[in-house]
Chain A
Amino acid sequence: MEQLLILLIFLPLAGALVTAFTGNAAKYVALVSGLLSLAVGLIITAQFVPDASTQFEVNVPWIADLGIHFHAGIDGISLITILLTNVLIPIIILAAFKHEYPKPQSFFALILFMQAGLLIVFTALDAFLFYIGWEAALIPIYFICAIWGGKDRIKVNMKFFVYTIAGSLFMLLGIIYLYLQNPADNFEIQAFYQLNLDAEQQGWIFWAFFIAFAIKMPVFPFHTWQPDTYTEAPAAGTMLLSGIMLKMGVYGVIRWLLPIAPLGLNDWGSTVMVLSVIGVVYASLIAFTQRNAKRLVAYSSIAHVGIIAAGIFALNAQGMQGAIFQMLSHGINVVGLFFVLDIIFSRMKTNTIAELGGIAKTAPKLAIAFLIIVLGSVALPGTNGFVGEFLLLTGIYQYNIWAVVFAGLSVIFGAVYMFRMYQQIMLGETNTLTAGFRDIQGSEQLVLVIICVLVIALGVYPKPFLHLSEASVQQLLEQVNQKLTSVK
């Protein structure tokens, strides 16, 4: 059993190494590696027993003198994020097929290297290992964005890199502190859960971790790196950042922050909730004013993540389940949106909304796919976005009615600006620029069909996925509540 987890983590690494030496065939090798990882992910899902236990556990000493173990395992919450990663990576690789990147072997090797880092983050049960994975995912994406990005890429990515690494260094400080508090002298997550820290200590730990996660997600006011980085990144970079990487932050909050520092949450939860809701409203309002479609989607992503964060900090089963499901559906939808914008950009050389229009006339297939993805991201019933958003809003409602009023407002805002964008890009009369628009074909069609199927399938029948994480979420909440009540 545990061999599967080893395979899951090291397969992308091996794939990256092979890809790095293949030259022009790199994209095919990378795709094969991605598909193999997906197969491993699906086998793991098939063998997974949906209860609260940690399965496929691997635990071997790594740097024994420092109490560091290679300890990883999968429970329901990890499984969803693993599925997300391994489904999206082949899609992202396939989406990059039409691009002629210089040095493709480095490009695809970095994507696979990042996948390994992400999978470590999503399975780590040792805080040190988690930190290693956290940084190992950052380095490749920095290079992807800074080598193959737009013209402002150097400055923008420097900000992105320094910003995120600042957050993670504070997390490292928190991890070292917890290690020193731990009488067992190790980084085991279970040992960290059991630590007896008072409210003040937990408050500090809470912020040390929260800043790292908040920068990654990003939660207002830590979001300032995000729109520029998304806009300047190459399409695959944007998809990796928005589709998978921001889920590292969400996952980190659920897996590490809540169970370790529930008292910190008790003291600061309302502050964070307010920040999240401000972020939702603020990002929605800014999204209205964007003239560049890529920036608009970037801001809408901040709004979506704000709702996810609020759902988690509401600390109830609906909010948490909604957050986990929404991670999955937001990942799929946002990758779809950025892919459509990339198709448009690679043909029209612009993402400025006002310059486009009438594309539906010349590209009906693209128009349908785009519509389905937009519907998913504005949470129309029957799409994947609806399930997550509904659960999230229910969860936030139980926490505070005012929070849900503002968060709910953003759903309406979201529908308005997304539809307006769709209308201005796709509908109306064609202009001189868009008259010659070619419809999608080949790999583009394949990617969009897969995404649309996922949008609808998850929306119509979300139960199996909700079921996967349900038991683990229950257990986690019990753990947190137990710790909270024992103090009160």
Chain B
Amino acid sequence: MNIIITIVVTALAVLYAGLFKAKKALLPLTLVGLVTALAFAVTAWDTNIVYYGMMEMDNFAIAFSSLIILGTIFIFLLTQNYFAEHSENVAEYYTLILFALSGMVIILSYTNMSMLFIGIEIMSVALYILAGIRKKDFASNEASLKYFLMGAFSTGFLLFGIALIYGATGSFSLDAINKYLISNHQSVSPLFYPGMILIMVGLCFKLGAAPFHFWTPDVYEGSPSLITAFMSTVVKTAGFAAFLRLFGGTFAPLHDFWMPPLLAIVFITLFIGNVTALFQKNFKRMLAYSSISHAGYLLFSLVTLTGNSSNNVIVYAAAYTFASIIAFAVLILVKQKTGGDGFESYNGLAKKNPFVALALTISMLSLAGIPLTAGFIGKYLMFLNVMTEYHIYLVAFAILNALIGFYYYLKVIVAMYFKEGPEVELNAPVQYKLVLILSVIITLVLGVYPAVILNLI
């Protein structure tokens, strides 16, 4: 609870600091608040405090909270001068990001359906506004509107599902629902099944899993890159954790029922994400589609529910988050210098910026899943997980998709190293360098010695 309070208080403090035009204080204030929240999260390890049957800070919630808070810190480090280009009111954006973060902590730790809904709404409403912060920009407006409409739509599904499950079980509490499922295993109310499917659809919308992914590319492309980075890493991780908490825990007794539709979603998500990413000429859009395919790999953990599922997800999510942050950081730098985010903007980048190019290369290799990077360990765990029940066809399919992935992730490496281009110098600011260095270190450490987080939860 103190994590959420810290984040919200920080958000309000930032808002007031903005009111008094203390622009210089905004970023330090935010970072101090987030670091405090992170410290609270780390010290709460193994305590398992339950808050009035609404939220539970178990290790699962703490591990994911730490990951998303760390991710948010990195993203804040990248904000230097970023929002100032778009607007005068920087403080509002900081506050909105922090509010979204507080919503995410709720959906990591909920033990009650109503908290799931509240958390998702706190998170989403802030994100709708953030997607549209470039008020004068057509694409940004489009992104915001699309995101809002689709989000509202999917919330409808989610609520309808929650209502049906309430009708079947008479409770919002995850514990009570789980107990109901276990005691009435043979005679689960017919209301329950459509309720579950509707919740699945609602959450898949939020995650951007196919066939509910149509909003993602447009929203990711239209939003400011930094917000896209936030949405495709931190928000996605949180959404996935919420999914896992519900289906991997509460609904686990009905695994046999919801697994086939989930399997279908996994297949479609992997295929559509990868194949469409292959044809993109724009780096940002490529990342958007590839993030769809990563949602597919993450869903692998639910295909076979083992004791390690949540751990596999956190390894994968960490690998994906830090690699993506590198990618977006470089994307922002390149966009500022060259004004474009097509692949051709990266031509010849390695000549003058060896470090940035190396960082982006490691990020791409990690996203593609090459050994000695975190991404490989993540993919390996997912494959291993699915193989334990011998879904070999699924793994073979995933391998084919991974191959397609290599192809498009290499594109940007090819552009940076092998093609000639205008030799621009990026002059990355100190904060950017810090984020790149830390993310590269995390990616490599997790790749070479993943034992540090393997048995966390």
Contact = CB atoms under 8 A, between A and B. Distances in A.
Contacts, number: 67
Contacts of B383: 172-173, 176
Interface string B423-453: 0000000000000000000000000011100
Interface stretch (A162-170, A241-249, A362-370, A453-461): A162-170
B407 A158 contact: yes
A154 B414 contact: yes
A351 B105 CA distance: 65
Contacts of A97: none
Nearest to B404: A162
A131 B371 contact: yes
A66 B365 CA distance: 22
B191 interface: no
A65 B380 CA distance: 13
B382 to A, nearest CB: 11
Contacts of B406: 161-162, 165
Range, interface on chain A: 20 to 34
Contacts of A4: none
A146 B417 contact: yes
A136 B370 CA distance: 9
Given A135-B370, A165-B406, A173-B383, A147 B417 contact: yes
A63 B445 CA distance: 12
Ranked nearest first, the 4 interchain pairs of A and B with the lowest CB-CB distance are: A135-B371, A65-B454, A169-B399, A132-B371
Contacts of B414: 146, 154, 158
A177 interface: yes
A71 interface: no
A64 interface: yes
A174 to B, nearest CB: 11
A132 B449 CA distance: 13
A161 B450 CA distance: 26
B410 A63 contact: no
Contact of A180 (B388, B417, B419): B388
Contacts of A10: none
Contacts of A166: 403
A272 interface: no
Contacts of A62: 449, 451
A176 B370 contact: no
Contacts of B455: 65
B50 interface: no
B418 interface: yes
B387 interface: yes
A147 B418 contact: yes
B125 interface: no
B73 interface: no
Contacts of A153: 418
Nearest to A106: B354
Interface string A275-317: 0000000000000000000000000000000000000000000
Given A165-B403, A173-B396, 20 more contacts: A62-B451, A63-B451, A64-B451, A132-B371, A135-B370, A146-B414, A154-B419, A158-B407, A161-B410, A166-B403, A170-B399, A172-B383, A173-B387, A176-B380, A176-B383, A176-B387, A176-B395, A177-B387, A180-B384, A180-B388
B372 interface: yes
Interface in A125-149: 131-132, 135-136, 139, 143, 146-147
Nearest to B396: A173
Interface string B147-186: 0000000000000000000000000000000000000000
Report, as a range, how many residues of chain B touch the other chain.
20 to 34
Contacts of B388: 180
Contacts of A161: 406, 410
Contacts of A179: 384
A132 B377 CA distance: 11
Nearest to A139: B370
8 contacts: A64-B451, A65-B451, A146-B414, A158-B414, A162-B403, A162-B407, A177-B387, A177-B392
Interface of A: 62-66, 131-132, 135-136, 139, 143, 146-147, 153-154, 158, 161-162, 165-166, 169-170, 172-173, 176-177, 179-180
A176 B451 contact: no
A63 B419 contact: no
A62 B452 CA distance: 11
A371 to B, nearest CB: 38
Contacts of B449: 62-63
A169 B380 CA distance: 10
Interface string B351-374: 000000000000001000011100
Interface of B: 365, 370-372, 380, 383-384, 387-388, 392, 395-396, 399, 402-403, 406-407, 410, 414, 417-419, 449-451, 454-455
Contacts of A177: 387, 392
Nearest to B403: A166
Contacts of B365: 139
Contact of B418 (A64, A154, A170, A176): A154
A166 to B, nearest CB: 5
Contacts of B418: 146-147, 153-154
Contacts of B387: 173, 176-177, 180
Contact of A169 (B384, B402, B417, B450): B402
A158 B407 CA distance: 8
A235 B407 CA distance: 25
A136 B406 CA distance: 15
Q: Which of A136, A166, A169 has the most C-beta atoms of chain B within 10 angstroms of its own C-beta?
A: A169
A370 B180 CA distance: 82
B100 to A, nearest CB: 34
A201 to B, nearest CB: 11
A63 B407 contact: no
A63 B450 contact: yes
Nearest to A163: B403
A46 to B, nearest CB: 32
Nearest to B417: A147
A162 B318 CA distance: 26
A132 B372 contact: yes
Contacts of A135: 370-372
B399 A176 contact: no
Interface centre among A136, A147, A173 (most CB of B within 10 A): A173
A52 to B, nearest CB: 31
Given A66-B454, A162-B406, A165-B403, A173 B395 contact: yes
Contacts of A64: 451
Contacts of B370: 135, 139
Contacts of A65: 451, 454-455
Nearest to A179: B384
B338 to A, nearest CB: 21
B293 to A, nearest CB: 15
B300 to A, nearest CB: 13
A143 B410 contact: no
A180 B386 CA distance: 11
Contacts of A169: 399, 402-403
Nearest to B452: A63
Contacts of B451: 62-65
A146 B414 CA distance: 8
A135 B399 CA distance: 15
A204 to B, nearest CB: 9
B383 to A, nearest CB: 6
A317 B50 CA distance: 68
Nearest to B365: A139
Contacts of B380: 172, 176
A161 B407 CA distance: 9
Identify which of B383, B384, B399, B418 gathers the most chain A CB atoms within 10 Å of its CB: B418
